[in-house]
Structure 1
Amino acid sequence: MTAQERRAIEADCARLVALYANLNDAGDWQGVADLYAPDGRMARPTAPDDWVQGREAILAAFLARPARVTRHICSNVVIDVVSATEAVGESAMLLFTGDSAPKVGSFHDRFILSAAGWRFAERRGSLIFQGS
């Protein structure tokens, strides 16, 4: 793999991290779900050991949550390329909501290359601390 190919994978996966935050804040649950592989899985930062498996189940989980106004700020995004079809990543997350103190956490991601492009195979959030 060339350095240029590696950088392209890193950029594509980092874009998924940012796009996920933007779609989430816009309440575009179909768009968020579409960022996952069909058999992808996620665990929210508030429940890091409670996995939701499959794109349709992920969509249903987002549709079931109460409406709220949010702004996710993601930074410190580091993507490590495992192969031409797999990468892993970590990012820091700061979540602002209209009704509570900010929450600080992180995401650990596993990405795969699909026919539709790079997608989340796994996205696990965790909280480091949350304000009261």
Structure 2
Amino acid sequence: MSPVERQAIEWECARLIALYANLNDAHRWEDVVALYHPDGMMTRPTAPEAEIRGHEAILAAFRARPPRTTRHFCSNVVIDVEDAEHARGESAILLFTGSGAPLVGSFHDRFVATERGWRFLERRGSLTFQP
């Protein structure tokens, strides 16, 4: 793999992280779910042991969330390319809501190349500081 190909994968995966945050804040649940592989899995930072797997379950989890205003900030994004179809990533997250203290945590991601582009295969959230 050339350095340019590696950089392109890193960029695509980092873009997924930012797009996920923006779509989440806009409550565009169907678009958030489309960022996952059909067999993708997520855990929320507030419930890191509760795996939610597959498009239908992920969409249901987002729709079940009570309405709230949020703003996610992602930083310290590091993507490690494993091969032309697999990558891993880590990022820090800061979440502000309309009420309560900000939440600080991280995501550990696994990415996979699909015919629709790079997608989350796994997105595991955790909190660094408990509320």
| Amino acid aligned to 1:47 | A
**Aligned residue number for residue 39 of structure 2:** 39
TM-score between the two structures when normalised by the length of structure 1: 0.98
Gap runs ≥5 in structure 2:
none
| Amino acid aligned to 2:25 | D
Counterpart check, 1:48 vs 2:51: no
Residue 101 of structure 1 aligns to a residue whose secondary structure is: coil
**Aligned residue number for residue 102 of structure 1:** 102
Q: Where does structure 1 differ by over 4 angstroms across 4 or more consecutive aligned residues?
A: none
- Aligned length in residues: 131
Q: Percent same amino acid at aligned positions? A: 67
Gap runs ≥5 in structure 1:
none
**Aligned residue number for residue 8 of structure 2:** 8
**Aligned residue number for residue 128 of structure 1:** 128
> How far is the alpha carbon of 1:130 from its aligned partner?
4.0
Residues 61-72 of structure 1 aligned to structure 2 (within 5 Å): 61-72=61-72
Residue 96 of structure 1 aligns to a residue whose secondary structure is: strand
Counterpart check, 1:111 vs 2:111: yes
> How far is the alpha carbon of 1:55 from its aligned partner?
1.1
C-alpha separation in 2, matches of 1:115 and 1:100:
41
Q: What is the CA RMSD across the aligned residues, in angstroms?
A: 0.6
C-alpha separation in 1, matches of 2:117 and 2:13:
10
TM-score between the two structures when normalised by the length of structure 2: 0.98
